[in-house]
Amino acid sequence: MTIPDLPEPAFSDLESMLSRKFGKEIANYFSGSPLNRVSFLRTDHSFLSAALKHSTTSFLVFNDLNPLAKDPSNLEYLSYADVRPLIGEDPYSKSEEQLVSEYNSTVTVPQLLFLGLDERNKQGLTFNIYTGSPYFAVDVTPKGTIQSQAESLLQSLQSRGLRFLEGRIQAALPAQDAAIYAQARALLDWNARNPFCAQCGQPTMSINGGMKRTCPPKDMASLAGSVGGTVGATPTERPDCATRKGISNVCFPRTDPTVIMAVVSSDGKKVLIGRQKRWPPHWYSTLAGFVEPAESVEEAVRREVWEESGVKLGRVVIHSTQPWPYPANLMIGAVAQCIPGGEEIILKHDPELEDARWAEMEEIREALRVGTSGLGEPAQEGYREGNLRLPAGTAIANQLLTAVANGFNGESPKI
């Protein structure tokens, strides 16, 4: 598989006090979206209606969280006419408040997400002071009362030679498409995982362009013949729910912070790497783990490294971050240094790793040159079987190892 280029950092050519002191910003795969999310417009249904039907609007559709594509390197975006048989003429024709008041838990509403505007297209939709091509995502998985419409759409797409990319991780897409895909997948996954209220257990509904869920106070479902709407009928009051009181009256998307770290020895000559049992032979990576409640990033780095390897750390510096939409992680990349005398590897604390070891910088540099790829995929030309294998450039682990082995941002090594 060809590894795509990484996204360009914002204002990468701009010299500033911060860039001179800390180096250029690092942008990782799944970041660098070309879209302006204009989050403050998500509640404006006049804007969403106009965006939905504009001639420059693109729809990225998913079936069981798999995106529609021409091939593994090229997503396929649909038009409003393509998705209208499924989503309806205009799901934003009524205000958010009215839709909540008419909520019917027996009717399946296709999950629709507003992703943002691509402001590079000056011929796109103009709304107030904002101009750009709108982007939406739609879940077209057949289910509930939309099963037949969704199946018809899937058959139509298949007849056009299109397919949905299966597999948990999509890492062959161009950087900007990968960022759009990551935003859409993470939000569709979150909506699918939260169909019920965490407080009272009743069904929730999607609002705010797909970015929030609410627990409606009433439900048309108990009314005879309620499927399809009951204009003028009086819906049944649902039991009381704490989420309808105060300021915590909606459910927001979840993002789980995760630390991932390149650990260097106290003398700066070696790097700590580890491997899981399920990985192919010779594959290693940096260590990683979840940030726990009431824990700083620096504390999480020190704790996770000690728990997994027994190594004790001193200084921790944040390097860069990477959105990881599987399902909703933010990988916080760090570089950390071992304290003198703290380099002994002990694997008996947390049995997550099969092995951990210290690698010389030159071994890391050689593996970065010819031994990287997706997990289980062949290495580059020049790789010698039995040598170290490392993650591809689309993984933040690769960027962290590059930083400590070759110096930050292409400068001379700082460690």
State pLDDT tens for residues 285-342: 999 999 999 999 999 999 999 999 999 999 999 999 999 999 999 999 999 999 999 9
pLDDT for 412:
46
pLDDT for 230:
43
* H or E element, residue 123: none
357-363: long-range contacts, CB 8 A cutoff, minimum separation 24: 357/272, 357/273, 357/274, 357/284, 358/265, 358/270, 358/271, 358/272, 358/273, 359/270, 359/271, 359/272, 359/273, 359/284, 359/388, 360/269, 360/270, 361/269, 361/270, 361/271, 361/404, 361/405, 363/388
Choose the weakest-confidence range: 229-233, 236-240, 388-392: 229-233
**Could you tell me the end-to-end alpha-carbon distance of the chain, in angstroms, rounded to an integer?**
33
User: What DSSP character marks residue 5?
Assistant: P
- What is the SS3 string spanning 242-272? HHHCCCCCCECCCCEEEEEEEEECCCCCEEE
Are 208 and 187 spatial neighbours (Cβ–Cβ below 8 Å)?
A: no
Are 406 and 413 spatial neighbours (Cβ–Cβ below 8 Å)?
A: yes
Are 213 and 204 spatial neighbours (Cβ–Cβ below 8 Å)?
A: yes
pLDDT for 233:
62
CB-count exposure of residue 326 (10 Å: 0-12, 13-18, 19+): middle
pLDDT for 222:
67
Strands 236-237, 256-264: pairing kind: unpaired
* Mean pLDDT value across residues 213-225: 82
* Mean pLDDT value across residues 188-199: 95
Strands 66-71, 58-63: pairing kind: antiparallel
Q: What is the crossing angle of helices 396-406 and 361-370, to 10°? A: 130
SS3 of the chain: helix, strand, coil, percent, to 5:
25, 25, 45
Cα gap 28→179, rounded to integer Å: 10
* Mean pLDDT value across residues 249-266: 94
Q: Is the peptide bond before 327 cis (omega within 30 degrees of 0)?
A: yes
pLDDT for 24:
84
* Mean pLDDT value across residues 178-191: 98
Q: Mean of the per-residue pLDDT values for the chain?
A: 93
Which are the contacts of 130, defined by CB distance < 8 A and separation ≥ 6? 36, 38, 41, 117, 119
* Mean pLDDT value across residues 241-251: 82
State pLDDT tens for residues 127-156: 999 999 999 999 999 999 999 999 999 999
Q: Say which residue the tokens 């799901």 belong to.
A: 91
* Residue 415 clears pLDDT 70, i.e. is over it: no
Q: Say which residue the tokens 């997503």 belong to.
A: 75
* Residue 227 clears pLDDT 60, i.e. is over it: no
CA 14 to chain centre: 28
Q: Say which residue the tokens 């009717």 belong to.
A: 107
pLDDT for 375:
87
Phi first, then psi: what are they for 179, rounded to 5°?
-70, -40
* Residue 194 clears pLDDT 50, i.e. is over it: yes
Q: Is 378 helix (H, G, I), strand (E, B) or coil?
A: coil
pLDDT for 226:
42
State pLDDT tens for residues 10-53: 888 889 998 888 888 899 999 999 999 999 999 999 999 999 99
Residue 269 pLDDT class (50, 70, 90 cuts)? very high
Residue type for position 290: F
Q: Say which residue the tokens 């590059």 belong to.
A: 402
* Mean pLDDT value across residues 208-230: 77
Are 227 and 237 spatial neighbours (Cβ–Cβ below 8 Å)?
A: no
